[in-house]
């Protein structure tokens, strides 16, 4: 499941940041979205999202969808106006004074 270098895949660029790939043997559809790319001196941050039609999981960003960071890293929104980051070493809910960010949910439809 997923994308491996030995799979026979047909790629379809949908936009500059969105690509669909179909496994020619199984029909599995994988959609790769490059959501965030921040390049700064000494630090580059990329956040990608993957939809996999054969996945049975519910990721933090939707059904059959995971972040490029893996299933063990993501965000949860327990109450309105709060967000909890979770990763392999546990979770972190920063106070508003320590986090300066605006989180936008994608439009559905």
pLDDT digits (tens, 9 = 90+) for 14-51: 999 999 999 988 899 999 999 888 777 776 777 888 89
pLDDT confidence of residue 105:
62
Cβ contact 103:83 at 8 Å = yes
pLDDT confidence of residue 15:
94
Q: Which residues on adjacent β-strands are paired with residue 31?
A: 20, 51
How far does the chain reach from its first CA to its final CA, in angstroms?
26
Q: Which residues on adjacent β-strands are paired with residue 7?
A: none
**CA–CA separation, 78 vs 20, rounded Å?**
32
User: What are the phi and psi torsion angles at 92 (to 5°)?
Assistant: -145, 125
**CA–CA separation, 72 vs 59, rounded Å?**
10
Residue 96 has pLDDT above 60, yes or no: no
**Whole-prediction pTM value?**
0.60
Residue 88 has pLDDT above 70, yes or no: no
Residue 101: DSSP 8-state: -
Q: 26-30 — which CB contacts under 8 Å span 24+ positions?
A: 26/54, 27/53, 28/1, 28/52, 28/53, 28/54, 29/53, 30/2, 30/3
């Amino acid at each position: 499941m997923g994308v491996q270098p030995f799979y026979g895949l047909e790629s379809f660029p949908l936009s500059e940041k969105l690509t669909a790939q179909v496994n020619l043997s199984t029909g599995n559809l994988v959609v790769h979205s490059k959501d965030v790319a921040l390049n700064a001196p000494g630090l580059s941050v990329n956040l990608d999202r993957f939809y996999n039609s054969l996945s049975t999981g519910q990721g933090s960003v939707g059904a059959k969808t995971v972040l490029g960071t893996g299933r063990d890293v993501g965000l949860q929104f327990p109450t309105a106006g709060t967000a909890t980051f979770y990763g392999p070493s546990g979770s972190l809910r920063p106070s508003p004074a320590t986090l300066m960010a605006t989180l936008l949910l994608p439009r559905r439809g």
